[in-house]
Amino acid sequence: MSRDDGVVHEEIIVRKYHGASPWAHLFHTLIYVTTLVLPLIIAFLTQGFWRKVELYREQPIVDFDGKSIMLIRGSRENEYVVWSSFHALNEAVESHLSVPLIEKQKFDWDDDGRVDKISIYAEFANVQFPVHSVVWVILLQYRLDQHFLVEVGALVIL
């Protein structure tokens, strides 16, 4: 048996890969930058796509017109002195009524026409027992007027 030994011959195929043109690569890069990077730049420069919180600050105009109630208590049950700027309350507690010397000062440090600090000083001359506690109720009026008008009466308990 004879075998016919033949030489096997295959053609060499060479494949070359390269881009169609450098302009296509440049266009692809430009589209990538436009779709991904440009929205991020816009979001950064405009502080987000939408605002989640709107915040502003305003110093209120505060006015103290002298309306207040003061209760000074001693250590015993019947030791107390009352004073108020309301005539009806003063008549109701006439046996324990004591009139203080009250001084108030308003400070405007930045000259903007709005009160920065209100200092109120009260002195009772005829309290004849050791003071155990003081309750002072102050009625203030304050308002905001820059963005919208708000007028409120506030109750401060000291």
pTM equals 0.57
Q: How far apart are CA 10 and CA 13, in angstroms?
A: 9
Domain membership of residue 146 as a residue range: 61-157
Residue 93 lies inside a defined structural domain of this protein: yes
Residue 144 lies inside a defined structural domain of this protein: yes
40-67 pLDDT per residue, tens: 888 888 877 776 777 888 888 888 888 9
Residue 35 lies inside a defined structural domain of this protein: no
Residue 79 lies inside a defined structural domain of this protein: yes
Residue 46 lies inside a defined structural domain of this protein: no
Per the CB < 8 A criterion, the answer to whether 112 and 61 are in contact is no
* Residue 150 binned pLDDT confidence (cut-offs 50, 70, 90): confident
Residue 52 lies inside a defined structural domain of this protein: no
8-17 pLDDT per residue, tens: 777 788 777 7
Q: List b or e across 103-120, with b for residues whose CB sees 16 or more CB atoms inside 10 angstroms.
A: eeeeeeeeeeeebeeeee
